Structure 1
């Protein structure tokens, strides 16, 4: 009898663990936007989506659940795949605000599938699939990054600007400290590539980042045209 009880307890514990894995907890989101000119201006190059060249504006890369220790959950629920019908009312906005630049040219479906299945499923205990993509679109509208930079005289024209001035311009306009990620062009110049903000677990309100990603930019950053 004792052996049977022990086995039952083990099964219950394993069952609880499997549920925890699906409804993974997390501490905050990174909301990440990328500059298309920098994505394209590398050895890897880029391909415009099948809908045509995107606007010369920051595009959404993703909304990523994270932990305060710098790690993050991923691929939390293989039983909840991306479903186009869930976001049919958002699709035109997503094509504009969340365009794919990967080669070969695509419609965006593959990009959005990856983002939902790797990152979005880890927030499904808080927001469903439609809510996840809608939250990212709302955040993009709330954070007009290009306007924030241009208002401070920082233009996407191939000139270089100080990292400090870029951060100050964004914080002044949004009220929150961004993390700036750079990439390197074919000439070895540091470029403004991605801008990270932190968002609470509801996916709606900006917060100061409890931890920043790893990475380093040069003191002078090129802002390429697109």
Structure 2
């Protein structure tokens, strides 16, 4: 009896698609906000967007699918390219809350395209392109880090604060433990750079982080002016 090569081929294709779909599922999102004062106070420096200097507030870095073991998927669908027409009515909010500080100065499109193609395409099982950006903007409104920190007496005044006090203030304000990432300025000061909050796969609800990124922070953290 001859083997049915057509059937075997179809079986292999189905197995491949099953593996592909599994590899693109994820367990939670990191919602990451960055402090522009720390981003700009590094060797690489920064360039303000073409719309001008952003406000002295935390800005969105991204919404990143992650696995519970600390790894993450990326660039899941090379055919799903960024399409600004899908978010045309969100652009003004994105310019305000999700500005690009990289050089050369830009209108943000390259930054947003990178975030969609690297991270957003791995969330397409839950959020289409418009939903991805809209959901991230809503999270920014929900997690007002600057207000939370100021309410705890932690101000962007070049002062130094303990990692514990910053973490506790954010936990008090949101109900969940944040991940804190620092960078170092030219004087080797540890600075408050990025804050990671964890979000369920719908992008709607904050959750306790299954795994937190390494902080790379000293005991005393500077909150630089911007």
The TM-score normalised by the length of structure 2 is: 0.96
Residues 127 and 219 of structure 1: CA distance in aligned 2, closer, same or farther (over 3 Å) = same
Identify unmatched segments of 5+ residues in structure 2: none
Query: What are the residue-to-residue correspondences of 1:37-186 with 2, within 5 Å?
Result: 37-186=37-186
User: Hey, what does 2:213 align to over in structure 1?
Assistant: 213
Aligned residues: 224
For 2:14 and 2:33, locate their aligned partners in 1 and report how far apart those are by CA, in whole Å.
42
For 2:22 and 2:216, locate their aligned partners in 1 and report how far apart those are by CA, in whole Å.
35
Deviations 1:21-67 (A, max 9, x none): 5xx10000000000000000011100000000000000000000000
Report SS of the residue matched to 2:89: coil
Deviations 1:149-192 (A, max 9, x none): 11111110101011111011111111111010000000000000
Identify unmatched segments of 5+ residues in structure 1: none
Residues 88 and 221 of structure 1: CA distance in aligned 2, closer, same or farther (over 3 Å) = same
User: Hey, what does 1:225 align to over in structure 2?
Assistant: 225
Report the CA distance between 1:10 and its aligned residue. 2.2
Q: Which runs of 4+ in 1 moved over 3 A?
A: 5-8, 15-21
For 1:55 and 1:15, locate their aligned partners in 2 and report how far apart those are by CA, in whole Å.
45
RMSD over equivalenced CA pairs, Å: 1.2
The TM-score normalised by the length of structure 1 is: 0.96
